[in-house]
Structure 1
Amino acid sequence: MNTPPRPPLEGQQVASGPHPAEPAALGPVVGEPKGAARQGVRTALRPDPQTEDGRYPIAWLTICAPRGAVPTATSKCLCGRDRSAVGKARVLTLITDHETHRDHCPLRTAQEGRAAA
């Protein structure tokens, strides 16, 4: 018993031999195409729907603690502070130190004073 040949899958063509590639149609070489985005689209630049409240990040605390691996953390601030820690005890100390710095950072305290005035 022979099994009948399977029909080709949809979209696949049976190769019947090599065919030379046809060159693409040449377009205009010199100058701009007529009316191609010269006037732009009016809706391309819309205002951001989110309203800004004047806040922006000053300090970042990044903690990486993969399961079964040694945790690491970095504490960076725009005032120039850049500290890192490796190991559970040191990472926990850096977290506490970052919170303390956040409360005493010269950039942050200056902003609070201006907002109160």
Structure 2
Amino acid sequence: MNAPPRPSLKSITHTPTGPQAAPQAVDTPAVGEPKGVAEGVPFAVRPDPRRDDGRRPVAWLHIVAPPSWSVTPSARSWCTCGYERNAIGRAAVLQLVTAHGEHRTSCPLLNPTSEGRTAA
């Protein structure tokens, strides 16, 4: 009932039993630009082209008007000051667009009025 020994296979290679050291890179002299930079690419750090100009979105108007005349349009107008309105139907959406424009002229976040300006 002993199994016969397996014949050796030609494709199996001998694996080492102990740890081996990884091959080390040869040191090159440091001359010229730092390595890792492609030729013709400046190495200096440039300023961020997307500078913050201080503007932030404050009031939004979102209108959904499907191309079919049989579908009812809808709209939503909201502002960070707390103003929020919704409309469903053509006439109501047109009124909301007008109300959104009026709110933009009277919003305290978009048109801050200080006492120094009105007193003069």
TM-score scaled by structure 2? 0.52
The residue aligned with 2:75 is: 73
Pairing 1:57–2:57 present? yes
What is the identity, as a one-letter code, of the residue corresponding to 2:87?
A
| Whole-angstrom CA distance in 2 between matches of 1:80 and 1:96 | 18
Q: 1:48 to 1:76 in 2, by over 3 A?
A: farther
Structure 1 segment 1-117 matched on structure 2, within 5 A? 48-68=48-68, 69-110=71-112
1: distance between equivalents of 2:58 and 2:111? 11
Report SS of the residue matched to 2:56.
coil
Cα distance change, pair 53–84 in 1 and its aligned pair in 2 (3 A)? same
2:36 is aligned to none
Look up the equivalent residue of 1:84 and give its one-letter code: N
| Ranges of 4+ aligned residues in structure 1 off by more than 3 Å | none
Secondary structure of residue in 2 paired with 1:96: helix
Aligned length: 70
Provide TM-score, normalisation by structure 1.
Answer: 0.53
Q: 1:87 is matched by which residue type in structure 2? A: G
Percent of matched pairs sharing the same residue: 50
Give the superposed CA RMSD.
Answer: 2.4
Distance across 2 between alignment mates of 1:72 and 1:88: 8
**Structure label with greater radius of gyration:** 2
Distance 1:78 1:47 in 2: 31
List alignment gaps of at least 5 residues for structure 1. Answer: 1-45
Bigger proportion of residues as helix: 1
Stretches of structure 2 lacking an aligned partner (at least 5 in a row): 1-45
Shift of the 47–83 alpha-carbon distance from structure 1 to 2, 3 Å rule, reads farther
Report the 3-state secondary structure (helix = DSSP H, G, I; strand = E; otherwise coil) of the residue aligned with 1:107.
coil
